[in-house]
């Protein structure tokens, strides 16, 4: 069984598998975005307190969730790479970082646009907003550190440590609204259920799924380029049809 | 132990140690991480004197009084135990309403009133259409439930 | 100030242009960058391969 896992964690097998999967993920992501936004804008009612402005939630919450989860996935791959010295894990971590950073940016941007009309301020230095900003900086730090070291193996190890250390920030973001008093409201999605009207919930979860599929598609596409670049001296890369032609 | 197991143990131990350190630091910094003080904290003298700070709570029902100039507003912030009067001159956010969350930044003056430079509205995490909200409000009134917090 | 009034008069436009158009633009830029990266990486790898073939041919001749 163990051998099978390592087979799929080998760049050789993974490259082809990823290439086959990308179109499926990309297509279903696009479809779900359209459905989610249709429900969000045409089916879901206005909010009793916030009117139309609450509709930012359909992108704000999925982007925030993705920015946090992608960080954990990235740190997980980075740790795997450190422990097992597998080539693909480090490449996956490098491929996830830009997508995670963009979701963190979207989360902060849409949050600011929501905060202005509802709270009365674009930005407040409360624990939730500040820790999400730190998350964006951690992503940027990871990318910059990796790019600044020429030897790829050393770059992998150094940035992996940064990723693992930074993962402490993720639970801080999640629990910040519970541990401290913040301007940001508490979580809408709780273990006990969601404090939201059904159509609003559907729109948010469908866009969340779309974001997941989108993230997987771009990360796989990016990791394929990284594999090509890093393994360009191997026989199997030189035998690939897209390289031979 | 194999080297890979050693590396695994090292990472786990380092992460746990780091989490403990960060936890202790954040705990020590608690009053700085919190965005605002509650009226109870102000009464217990935990809020700073002579400089600007934020105070948060609910706008007390029936406490909003608008002055004749149309800009100055007097209201009371409460955390259901203690209450503090606030005066503010400026435009209030849309969600500023009696019984709703609010965060005001300003200085406590000698008259015991906070003179706010900025007033922000704090909304809750519940989203529902107006009809559902009306039904909920009616049900709550019928039960005589008071909306604490 | 005028922005404050405008966004309250056109909340849906504000939400669409401010949040959704920006998010979709970010996605579009990311997709374009990923596709571009794939193109230049492939070109580089092909060049390297041809250079390697030439070297080997010269070595054989």
Rounded to the nearest angstrom, the minimum Cα separation between A83 and chain C is 29
Query: What is the extent of the structural domain holding B74?
Result: 36-141
Are B54 and B16 part of one and the same domain?
no
Provide the number of structural domains found in chain A. Answer: 1
Are B123 and B84 part of one and the same domain?
yes
Measured CA to CA, the distance from residue A215 to residue A71 in angstroms comes to: 12
pLDDT interval class at A8 (50, 70, 90)? low
Q: Which residues between 2 and 61 in chain C have a beta carbon less than 8 angstroms from any beta carbon of chain A?
A: 4, 7-8, 11-12, 14-15, 18-20, 22-23, 26-27, 30-31, 34-35, 37-38, 41-42, 44-46, 48-49, 52
pLDDT interval class at B50 (50, 70, 90)? confident
Asked whether residue B72 is domain-assigned, the answer is yes
Asked whether residue A79 is domain-assigned, the answer is yes
pLDDT at A71 over 90: yes
Measured CA to CA, the distance from residue B47 to residue B41 in angstroms comes to: 6
Closest residue of chain C to A229, computed from CA coordinates: C41
Asked whether residue A98 is domain-assigned, the answer is yes
Q: Residues of C with CB below 8 A from A98's CB?
A: 30
Please answer yes or no on whether A48 and B8 come within 8 Å at the CB atom. Answer: no
Averaged pLDDT of chain A: 91
3-state secondary structure chain A: CHHHHHHHCCHHHHHHHHHHHHHHHHHHHHHHHHHHHHHHHHHCCCECCCECHHHHHHHHHHHHHHHHHHHHHHHHHHHHHHHHCCHHHHHHHHHHHHHHHHHHHHHHHHHHHHHHHHCCCCCCCCHHHHHHHHHHHHHHHHHHHHHHCCCHHHHHHHHHHHHHHHCCHHHHHHHHHHHCCCCCCCCCEECCEECECHHHHHHHHHHHHHHHHHHHHHHHHHHHHHHHHHCCCCHHHHHCHHHHC
Are B54 and B95 part of one and the same domain?
yes
Please answer yes or no on whether A168 and B120 come within 8 Å at the CB atom. Answer: no
Q: Residues of A with CB below 8 A from B4's CB?
A: 83-85
Asked whether residue B60 is domain-assigned, the answer is yes
Asked whether residue A13 is domain-assigned, the answer is no
pLDDT of residue A6: 63
Rounded to the nearest angstrom, the minimum Cα separation between B112 and chain A is 23
Are B60 and B5 part of one and the same domain?
no
Q: What integer is the mean pLDDT of B49-60?
A: 88
pLDDT at B47 over 70: yes
* Cα-based distances in Å from A245 to A222, A235, C41, C46, C56: 21, 15, 14, 8, 18
Asked whether residue A12 is domain-assigned, the answer is no
* Cα-based distances in Å from B83 to B44, C42, C43: 12, 68, 70
Rounded to the nearest angstrom, the minimum Cα separation between A225 and chain C is 5
Measured CA to CA, the distance from residue A239 to residue A15 in angstroms comes to: 13
pLDDT at A240 over 60: yes
Rounded to the nearest angstrom, the minimum Cα separation between B147 and chain A is 16
pLDDT of residue B149: 41
Are B43 and B65 part of one and the same domain?
yes
Compare CB distances from A82 to B11, B121, B122 and report the shortest one's residue: B11
pLDDT interval class at B144 (50, 70, 90)? low
Are B113 and B101 part of one and the same domain?
yes
Please answer yes or no on whether C37 and A222 come within 8 Å at the CB atom. Answer: yes
Closest residue of chain A to C46, computed from CA coordinates: A243
pTM, two decimals, is 0.90
Measured CA to CA, the distance from residue B73 to residue B88 in angstroms comes to: 5
Residue B37 has what DSSP assignment?
Answer: B
pLDDT at C58 over 70: no
What's the CATH number where A226 sits? 1.20.120
Q: Which residues of A115-153 are buried (b: 16+ CB within 10 A; e: fewer)?
A: bbbbbbbeebebbbbbbbbbbbebbebbbebbeeeeebe
3-state secondary structure B42-107: HHCCCCCCCCCEEEEEEECCCCCEECCCCCEEEEEEECCCCEEEEEEECCCCCCCCCCCEEEEEEE
Tens-digit pLDDT profile for residues A162-174: 999 999 999 999 9
Closest residue of chain A to C39, computed from CA coordinates: A225
Q: Cβ of A194 under 8 Å from any chain B Cβ?
A: no
pLDDT of residue A5: 60
pLDDT at B146 over 70: no
Are B25 and B87 part of one and the same domain?
no
- Which tops the pLDDT comparison, A50 or A9? A50
Asked whether residue B116 is domain-assigned, the answer is yes
Averaged pLDDT of chain B: 85
Q: Cβ of A122 under 8 Å from any chain B Cβ?
A: no
Are B29 and B89 part of one and the same domain?
no
Provide the number of structural domains found in chain B. Answer: 2
Q: What integer is the mean pLDDT of A14-24?
A: 93
Closest residue of chain C to A224, computed from CA coordinates: C38
Are B42 and B105 part of one and the same domain?
yes
pLDDT of residue A3: 55
Please answer yes or no on whether B125 and A186 come within 8 Å at the CB atom. Answer: yes
Residue C19 has what DSSP assignment?
Answer: I
pLDDT interval class at A93 (50, 70, 90)? very high
pLDDT of residue A1: 43
pLDDT at A225 over 90: yes
Compare CB distances from C45 to A60, A63, A243 and report the shortest one's residue: A243
Task: Identify from A2, A39, A48 which residue to disrupt to test chain B contact, counting B C-beta atoms within 10 A and taking the largest count.
Answer: A48
Q: Cβ of B57 under 8 Å from any chain A Cβ?
A: no
For A5-9, A36-40, B4-8, B105-109, which range has the lowest pLDDT when averaged over its residues?
A5-9
Q: What integer is the mean pLDDT of A51-75?
A: 95
Asked whether residue B134 is domain-assigned, the answer is yes
Asked whether residue A44 is domain-assigned, the answer is yes
Asked whether residue A4 is domain-assigned, the answer is no
pLDDT at B92 over 80: yes
Query: What is the extent of the structural domain holding A28?
Result: 18-244
Task: Identify from C8, C32, C45 which residue to disrupt to test chain A contact, counting A C-beta atoms within 10 A and taking the largest count.
Answer: C45
Asked whether residue B7 is domain-assigned, the answer is yes
Chains near C with 3+ CB pairs less than 8 A apart are A
Are B23 and B69 part of one and the same domain?
no
Asked whether residue B148 is domain-assigned, the answer is no
**Tell me, what's the ipTM?**
0.90
Are B62 and B129 part of one and the same domain?
yes
pLDDT of residue C53: 72
Are B13 and B73 part of one and the same domain?
no
pLDDT at A144 over 80: yes
């Amino acid at each position: 069984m163990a051998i099978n896992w390592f087979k799929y964690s080998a760049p050789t097998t993974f490259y082809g598998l990823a290439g086959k999967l990308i179109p499926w993920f990309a297509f279903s992501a696009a479809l779900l975005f359209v459905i989610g936004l249709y429900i969000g804008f045409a089916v879901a009612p206005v909010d009793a307190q916030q009117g139309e402005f609450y509709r930012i939630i359909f992108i704000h919450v999925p982007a925030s969730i993705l920015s946090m989860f992608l960080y954990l996935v990235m740190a997980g791959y980075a740790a795997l790479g450190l422990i097992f010295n597998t080539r693909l894990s480090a490449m996956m971590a490098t491929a996830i970082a830009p997508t995670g950073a963009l979701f963190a940016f979207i989360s902060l941007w849409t949050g600011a646009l929501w905060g202005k009309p509802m709270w009365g301020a674009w930005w407040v230095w409360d624990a939730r907003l500040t820790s999400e900003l730190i998350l964006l900086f951690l992503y940027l730090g990871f990318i910059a550190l990796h790019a600044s070291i020429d030897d790829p193996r050393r770059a992998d190890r150094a940035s992996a440590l940064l990723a693992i250390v930074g993962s402490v920030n993720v639970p801080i973001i999640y629990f910040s609204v519970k541990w401290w008093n913040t301007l940001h409201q508490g979580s809408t999605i709780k273990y006990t259920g969601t404090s939201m009207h059904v159509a609003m919930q559907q729109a948010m979860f469908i866009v969340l799924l779309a974001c997941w599929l989108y993230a997987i598609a771009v990360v796989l596409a990016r990791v394929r380029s990284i594999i090509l670049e890093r393994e360009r001296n191997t026989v199997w890369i030189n035998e690939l049809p897209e390289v031979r032609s | 132990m194999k080297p890979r197991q050693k590396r695994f143990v090292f990472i786990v131990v380092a992460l746990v140690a780091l989490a403990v350190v960060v936890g202790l630091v954040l705990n020590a910094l608690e009053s700085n991480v919190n965005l605002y003080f509650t009226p109870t904290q102000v009464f217990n003298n935990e809020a700073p004197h002579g400089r600007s700070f934020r105070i948060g709570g609910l706008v007390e029902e029936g406490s909003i009084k608008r002055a004749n100039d149309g800009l100055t507003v007097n209201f009371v912030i409460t955390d259901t135990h203690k209450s503090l009067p606030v005066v503010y001159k400026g435009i209030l956010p849309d969600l500023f309403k009696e019984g709703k969350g609010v965060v005001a930044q300003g200085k406590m003056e000698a008259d015991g009133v906070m003179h706010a430079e900025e007033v922000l509205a704090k909304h809750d995490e519940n989203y529902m259409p107006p009809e559902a909200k009306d039904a909920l409000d009616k049900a709550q009134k019928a039960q005589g439930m008071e909306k604490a917090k | 100030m005028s922005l404050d009034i405008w966004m309250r008069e056109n909340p849906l436009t504000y939400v669409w242009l401010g949040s959704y158009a920006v998010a979709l633009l970010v996605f579009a830029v990311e997709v374009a960058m990923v596709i571009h990266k794939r193109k230049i990486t492939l070109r580089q790898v092909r060049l390297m391969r041809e250079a390697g073939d030439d070297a080997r041919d010269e070595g054989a001749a």
